[in-house]
Amino acid sequence: MIRSERTPWRTAGFHLTALGVSLIFAVPVIWVLAASLRLPGTPPPIDLELIPDPIIWSNYVQIFELLPLGRYLLNSFAVAALAVPLTVVVASWAGFALAQLPEHVRTAFLALAIVVRMTPITALWLTRFLVLNELRLIDSYAALLAPVWLGSSPLFVLIFYWSFRRIPADVIESARLDGLGALAIWRRIALPLARPAIGAVSVLTFVQYWSDFINPLLYLKSESRYTLPIGLRLLQQMDITSWPLLMAGVMVMIAPIMILFVLAQRAFWVEVRS
C-alpha cells in the first residue's frame, strides 16, 4: 500500500529530473539557433535572447553563398555513411571474438583495450601521418576512414563485448553443435540480440566522423575534399566578428546529429523495455 502511494511521487520526480537534465542540453542549442537568426555583424547578446528582432533567415542562405558548404556537407555525409557500417561490422567482430576467448586471455585483451583508450590521440598523429603517407593515402578519404579497420575506437569494441557477454553460453554452444561457424553465429544469433549496442555505436561513430576536425586538417589538401568542420573554420576566418553567420553554420552541423539521435531512440527503448 505504501509503495502504491509513493509511486506517483517517484514518477513525478523522475520526469522533473529528466526535464531538468534535458534543459541543460537544450538551452545551448536554443541559444545557438537564436544567435544564428540575428543581424550579421552584430555582437552576441549579453543575456539569453530567445527571439531576435529582426529574425534574419537569410543567414542560412548567405553561408552557402560565401563558401561551398553544400560540397563540404556532402563530403561529411559520405565519410560518415561509410564509417558507420564499417565500424559496426569490425567492432562487433572484435567484440564477439573477445567474448568467446578464455577468461585469462580475455582479461589481458580488455586491459590492452583500456590502455589503448587512455593513449592521447596526439601521440598518434605523427606516426599515423607517416604510415598513411607511405601508403599514398594522404589527400583521400581513405586516410579519414583508416581507423574503421580497428573498430574506430576501443570503446566501441568494449560496448559490443559487454553486449555479447550477456548471451548465455548454452546458446552459443547449441549453435556450434548445429554446425554453425563463428561468422554464422555472429550474424544469426549475436548481432540480432545486440540492437541497442548497434544503435549506440552507430550514433557515436557518426558523431565522431561527422565532427572530426583534426584528421581532415592533417590529411586533406584539396579544398574540394574538405569536410564541414573545416568549412566552419574557414567561415570563422572570413569574418571573425560575424557571429550570426558562424552560428548558422553550427546549426547546419549539429542538426543531423540531433535528428539521428531522435531516430535512434527506438533502439535504446528496446533495451529499456526488456
How far apart, in whole angstroms, are the C-alpha atoms of residue 115 and residue 155? 11
Q: Is the pLDDT of residue 4 over 50?
A: no
Q: pLDDT tens, 44-78? A: 777 777 788 788 888 899 999 988 999 999 999 99
Q: CA nearest 101: which of 161, 13, 149, 54?
A: 161
**Grid cell at residue 214:** 583534426
Work out the pLDDT band at 89, boundaries 50, 70, 90: very high
Q: pLDDT tens, 153-207? A: 888 999 999 999 888 888 888 888 888 888 888 888 888 888 889 988 999 999 9
Say if residues 253 and 211 touch (Cβ distance below 8 Å). yes
What Cα–Cα distance (Å) separates residue 225 from each residue in 125, 219, 222, 231, 235?
20, 10, 6, 10, 16
Mean pLDDT of the residues in the chain: 86
- Chain CA centroid to CA 55, Å: 31
Q: CA nearest 247: which of 22, 28, 35, 84?
A: 35
Q: Is the pLDDT of residue 269 over 70?
A: no
CATH code of domain 68-238: 1.10.3720.10
